[in-house]
C-alpha cells in the first residue's frame, strides 16, 4: 500500500531563489519536449520517444541558449520529461476508455500559481541527522516534521502552491496495515447539504459550510484584487492574499474531513455510502454548496482509511431509491420533493425522517447489520482485513499518524 505524507518546509531567501530557478528549468524542459512532440505530430512524423528527448536535453545544456539548465539538478529535468510521458499516457488512456477523459498536455506558464519539482534517490537528497531536508543544489531546508515516516521514501516532491506555501511530499511503500480491534457497529451514511452526514443510527452531523462562512472576507479580498493595476507588485500581493484566504478554507475543510472520517473508522466495523453524481450536481444551482461540502474527498478518505485499518467500506449505486423506500416495511412509494423532510408511510404507518430513512436504506443496500427506527438489516460479507506496519528511518517500528494529501 502506498501512502503520501506531506510536510511544510521553510526555505530561506537563498533557497527560495534556488527553488524558483529549479521550477523554471523544469518548466522550460517540459515545454521544449512538448513542442518537439507537437511539431512532429503536425509534420506527420512518428511519436518522439523519451530517450530521444533526453539526448536533445543533454545537447541543449551545452549550448549558450540553454547553458543555465546546468544550474539545477539533472534529476529534476529528467523527472520533468517523465511527467510529460505521464500526461500523454493519461490522455491516450482516456481516449481508449481506460480512465476518465482528460485534455492533451498543455504548455506550462511561468504565471502558473502551482509549481513542483521531484527528486529521486539518484539525486542524492536525504534527511539529515539534524532533521533538515538536504536537496541537491538547493541546500539544507528546515522542515516541520509532524510525524515519522513509516519507511525510507525513494522520492520527494517539492511543491509551491498558489498561496506561496512550500510542501515536501513523500510517497512511501508500506507493508500490511495496522488493523484496529474489531467492533460491532456498522453504519450507513447519507450525505447531504442541510446536514453534512446523517448516520443510520440516527446521528446527524451538521455541515460546517466553510466557504459560506468565509465568503465575506473572500469577497473583500477579491474586490481589492480587482482594483489593482495588472502587472503591478500590489496586484501580486493582493493575489496572494486571495489565495491564502482560499487556502485557509480548504485546510479547514480537509481537517474536518480527516477528523470525522477517522472517528467513523475507529468506531465502526463496516461503513456504507452512496456513490453520488457530484459532477452532475456541480452543474446545478447548488454547485457552490456541493463544492463546499467536499463529498468526494470525504468518501475517498473513508475508503483508504478503511483499507488501511481493516474496516469494510462499501459504495452502493447512485440509482438506489434510498429516499423512496420505507426502511421498515420496504414499500416503495415514489419520489418526494426536497422540501418534504418527514412523511408517514402509507403501508405501515411509520413516521419517517427523510435523511435517517435514506441512511438506513444505504446500509440495507450494502448488506450491513444496522438498527434504526425499528428496521433490522441482515449482515453481509465483510472484506478480508489488511494491516500496515511502519518503520522509523532508523529501522525501529512505529505507529504512524493519518497522512495528509
List active site positions. 190, 274, 355
Question: What are phi and psi for residue 274, nearest 5 degrees?
Answer: -90, 140
How many Cα atoms within 13 Å fall on the side-chain side of residue 381?
Answer: 2
Q: Which of 7, 50, 57, 1 is nearest to 29 (CA)?
A: 57
How many other β-carbons are positioned within 10 Å of the β-carbon of residue 254?
Answer: 17
CA 157/CA 169 separation, integer angstroms? 5
Answer whether 8's CB lies under 8 Å from 251's CB. no
Answer whether 312's CB lies under 8 Å from 270's CB. yes
Q: What does the angle CA 214 – CA 286 – CA 324 come to, to the nearest 5 degrees?
A: 130
CA 120/CA 117 separation, integer angstroms? 10
Classified as helix, coil or strand, 198 is strand
Amino acid at each position: 500500500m502506498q501512502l503520501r505524507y506531506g510536510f511544510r518546509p521553510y526555505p530561506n531567501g537563498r533557497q527560495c531563489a534556488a527553488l524558483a530557478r529549479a521550477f523554471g528549468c523544469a518548466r522550460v524542459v517540459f515545454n521544449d519536449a512538448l513542442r518537439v512532440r507537437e511539431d512532429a505530430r503536425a509534420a506527420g512524423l512518428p511519436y518522439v520517444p523519451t530517450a530521444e528527448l533526453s539526448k536533445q536535453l543533454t545537447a541543449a545544456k551545452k549550448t549558450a541558449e540553454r547553458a543555465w539548465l546546468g544550474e539545477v539538478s539533472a534529476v529534476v529535468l529528467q523527472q520533468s520529461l517523465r511527467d510529460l510521458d505521464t500526461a500523454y499516457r493519461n490522455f491516450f488512456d482516456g481516449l481508449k476508455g481506460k480512465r476518465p477523459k482528460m485534455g492533451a498536455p498543455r504548455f506550462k506558464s511561468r504565471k502558473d500559481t502551482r509549481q513542483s519539482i521531484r527528486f529521486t534517490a539518484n539525486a542524492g537528497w536525504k534527511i539529515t541527522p539534524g532533521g533538515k531536508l538536504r536537496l541537491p543544489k538547493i541546500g539544507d531546508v528546515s522542515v516541520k516534521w509532524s510525524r515519522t515516516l513509516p519507511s525510507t521514501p525513494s522520492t520527494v516532491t517539492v511543491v509551491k502552491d498558489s498561496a506561496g506555501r512550500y510542501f515536501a511530499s513523500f510517497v512511501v511503500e508500506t507493508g500490511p496495515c495496522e488493523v484496529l480491534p474489531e467492533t460491532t457497529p456498522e453504519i450507513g451514511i447519507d450525505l447531504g447539504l442541510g446536514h453534512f452526514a446523517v448516520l443510520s443510527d440516527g446521528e446527524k452531523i451538521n455541515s460546517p459550510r466553510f466557504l459560506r462562512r468565509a465568503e465575506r472576507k473572500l469577497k473583500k479580498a477579491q474586490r481589492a484584487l480587482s482594483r489593482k493595476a495588472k502587472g503591478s507588485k500590489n496586484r501580486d500581493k493582493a493575489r496572494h492574499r486571495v489565495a491564502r484566504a482560499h487556502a485557509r478554507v480548504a485546510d479547514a475543510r480537509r481537517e474536518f474531513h480527516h477528523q470525522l472520517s477517522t472517528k467513523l473508522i475507529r468506531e465502526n466495523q463496516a461503513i456504507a455510502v452512496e456513490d453520488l453524481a457530484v459532477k452532475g450536481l456541480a452543474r446545478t444551482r447548488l454547485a457552490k454548496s456541493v463544492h463546499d461540502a467536499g463529498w468526494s474527498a470525504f468518501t475517498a478518505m473513508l475508503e483508504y482509511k478503511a483499507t488501511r485499518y481493516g474496516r469494510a467500506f462499501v459504495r452502493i449505486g447512485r440509482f438506489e431509491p434510498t429516499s423512496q423506500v420505507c426502511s421498515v416495511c420496504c414499500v416503495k412509494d415514489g419520489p418526494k420533493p426536497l422540501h418534504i423532510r418527514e412523511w408517514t408511510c402509507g403501508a405501515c404507518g411509520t413516521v419517517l425522517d427523510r435523511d435517517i430513512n435514506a441512511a438506513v436504506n444505504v446500509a440495507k443496500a450494502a448488506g450491513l447489520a444496522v438498527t434504526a427506527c425499528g428496521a433490522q438489516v441482515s449482515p453481509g460479507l465483510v472484506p478480508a482485513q489488511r494491516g500496515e506496519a511502519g518503520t522509523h528511518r532508523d529501522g525501529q517500528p512505529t505507529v504512524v499518524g493519518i497522512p495528509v494529501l
